[in-house]
Amino acid sequence: MTNVAELGSSKGRRPLNTYVPERCAALLVLLAGACSPMVGEERPRLSQSVIQPELKAPLPVADGSPPTQSSENPGISREPPAVRDPRDPTGPRTGAPGSTKGTISCGTARCDASTHDCDWDVDNRQWACVPQQKGVQIGPHFANCDDASDCAASEACCLNTFQPASTHLCMPRAHEFCRMEVCQEGGAPCPRGTTCDRSRSVDLLNDENGIEGVCRAPASRATCANKERCPQEKPVCVMARKSNEPPTCEAETSELVLSFRAPAFGCTRQGDCKAGESCMFGARSQSAFCGKWKRDSFNALVCDPGGTVPRLPTETELKSVCAADADCRKRLRCWPRVELPWLGALDVTPREPSDLH
């Protein structure tokens, strides 16, 4: 596995392990995403040339009440809003006036991307431009780019999800930590065959203004009711609110998809995805999408169980998931799901009993 200390940008950025709290750096290598969103203890001095306005008080914290269950379909739960960490940013980062070329929107200011990053200043509760200094610890909500024009020619501005907080980092497009490429109108163009999707279906770093997007190829079309593929304009298969009704195909930007009120699947079979991509479940197992899958990923691959009993894996599945791991090969199964007859999760064990419901 790549050493995270070697992931610094070729244009003189700090190594990746300086962008996260010290307590998390070692965990990144092992867990690729399980570190705490704590803010680093040491922070660089704010740029004296940037004046930031005082922001409004943070949003109220959710009461933490337990999820309630839909009376229409027991398989769909309605969860309360996530509890807000009081240290999290509360104001928009995007929307600063001026050109995005070579600059990073940072509240009401723009940082020179060749010398500064944008970080949330916890003490003063505002976005701030901070000098790029090797070895300096800064918080988990930050950007050292907001489109590829801020990066070296061989790099992209990547939405990085190796930790709970969202970050924008310059790194090679093919790197395992580059989940999606960040883009915006007026910035660097997306790679050939992709366009800048600003549908807000991806959680970008404090982009309340809806300015940023991600470079995407045309959406894959999920197999849905009656084993028919969804049309291009409505490529997502959404489970019905009532258990006796069939699923429907919906647009990626539809309120039903974006609200997470029902399980939504961008794919339900491996054949729904384009070459080089795999159909995998999301972290909460209530959705599936096409993307680059890694063997040490926490995302279970989609499989066809062929029935209601866990199916033994094929040799191809064993090689993909387990390689030479004898214990994995012994325990791997295609676990049936209840949403669709052909939908299963390829895993060594179901993570939770609810994962099969």
Quote the tokens at residue 52. Answer: 């930031």
CB-CB contact of 215 with 196 (8 Å):
yes
Q: Specify whether 152 is located in the same domain as 14.
A: yes
Residues 47 and 143 in one domain: yes
Alpha-carbon gap, residue 214 to 160, rounded angstroms: 12
pLDDT for res 341: 94
DSSP collapsed to 3 states, the chain: CCCHHHCCCCCCCCCHHHCCCHHHHHHHHHHCCCCCCCCCCCCCCCCCCCCCCCCCCCCCCCCCCCCEECCCCCCCEECCCCCCCCCCCCCCCCCCCCCCCCEEEECCEEEECCCEEEEEECCCCEEEEEECCCCCCCCCCEECCCCHHHCCCCCEEEEECCCCCCEEEEECCCCCCCCEEEEECCCCCCCCCCEEECCCCCCCCCCCCCCEEEEECCCCCCECHHHCECCCCCCEEECCCCCCCCCEEECCCCHHHHCCCCCEECCCCHHHCCCCCEEEECCCCCEEEEECCCCCCCCCEEECCCCCCCECCCHHHHHHHCCCCHHHHHHCEEEECCCCCCCEEEECCCCCHHHHC
Residue 344 in any domain: the answer is yes
Q: Do 130 and 207 lie in a common domain?
A: yes
Is residue 264 located within the same domain as residue 291?
A: yes
- Co-location of 247 and 333 in the same domain: yes
CB 92 within 8 A of CB 206: yes
What is the model's pLDDT at position 89? 73
| Inter-residue contact 111 to 129 (CB < 8 Å) | yes
In a domain, 64, yes or no: no
Query: Residues 208, 229: one domain?
Result: no
Q: Is there a single domain that holds both residue 297 and residue 325?
A: yes
The answer to whether residue 73 is domain-embedded is no
Neighbouring CB atoms inside 10 A of 38's CB total 17
For 213, the domain range is: 1-51+88-217
Which of 196, 217, 238 terminates a domain? The answer is 217
Ramachandran angles phi, psi of 279, nearest 5°: -90, 125
Q: Is residue 43 part of a domain?
A: yes
Domain count, the chain: 2
Residue closest to 266 by CA, chosen among 277, 179, 172, 135: 277
Is residue 350 domain-shared with residue 294, that is, in the same domain? yes
Co-location of 103 and 164 in the same domain: yes
Q: Which residues of the chain have pLDDT under 50?
A: 1-8, 13-82, 137, 164, 353-357
Domain-located, residue 290: yes
63 within some domain: no
pLDDT at 71: 40
Terminal-residue alpha carbon distance, the chain: 34
Return the pLDDT at 86: 59
The answer to the question of residue 76 being in a domain is no
Same domain for 146 and 170, yes or no, is yes
Contact 279, 290 (CB under 8 A): yes
Residues 95 and 201 in one domain: yes
Asked which of 217, 245, 272 is the last residue of a domain, the reply is 217
Domain assignment present for residue 82? The answer is no
- β-sheet bridge partners, residue 77: 69
Which pLDDT belongs to residue 179? 78
* The last residue of a domain, from among 201, 217, 233: 217
